[in-house]
Amino acid sequence: MAQSNNKFVKFGLATAVVVVALVYLAWTGVQESKSYYMTIKELRADNTVYSKHLRVGGNVVPGSIHSSGPNADFVIVEVDPKTNERQELRVSYRGKEPPPDTFKDNAQALVLGEFGNDGVFHAHEIQAKCASKYAPQQPGAAAPADTKMN
């Protein structure tokens, strides 16, 4: 009887070790993949942002995009609708893929990365939406060729 209890104790300990390891891996994975969305104004006002994964959005300032291969340096801006105050943020994108095709002047962009002590946002991912492509069709305007019905 003592031998069968010993087997249950060993099995219970092994199971507990596996469960604790899985919980630890899940917890650290969630902590590493967590990113916070901030406005440019919030980013500038918070001194604790330097160690966090962040998402920041704004419109690409016309003429600010300087591309070199898959990398790009540019400026995004947000305008406070209440005060009309402009907040600009320099972004340095060093990603594995080139910026998306919709990444152009005046496009809405969401950058993911880290804010550096140098005042530059170091992005490793860009999501962009071209405002003109998704604007509602003006009354009386012809439909694009690919959406006309025969």
Q: Residues 105-133: pLDDT tens digits?
A: 999 999 999 998 888 999 999 988 865 54
d(C-alpha 115, C-alpha 92), whole Å: 10
Considering the segment(s) 35-129 as one domain, its CATH architecture is: Beta Barrel (2.40)
Structure confidence at residue 150 as a pLDDT band (50, 70, 90)? very low
pLDDT-above-70 percentage for the chain? 77
Instruction: Specify the pLDDT at position 2.
Output: 58
Q: Residue 24: is its pLDDT beyond 80?
A: no
Instruction: Specify the pLDDT at position 15.
Output: 86
- Residue-averaged pLDDT of the chain: 80
Residues in the chain: 150
β-strand partners of 115: 121
Q: Phi-psi bin for 127: left (phi > 0), alpha (psi -120 to 50), beta?
A: beta
Eight-class DSSP state of 101: T
Residue 126 near residue 100, CB atoms below 8 Å: yes
As a whole number, mean pLDDT of residues 77-85 equals 87
Q: Which residue has the higher pLDDT, 140 or 108?
A: 108
The per-residue DSSP string of 22-77 comes to HHHHHHHHHHHH--EEE-HHHHHH-TTGGGS-EEEEEEEPTT--EEETTEEEEEEE
Eight-class DSSP state of 96: S
Of 1-15, 42-56, 78-92, the poorest mean pLDDT is in 1-15
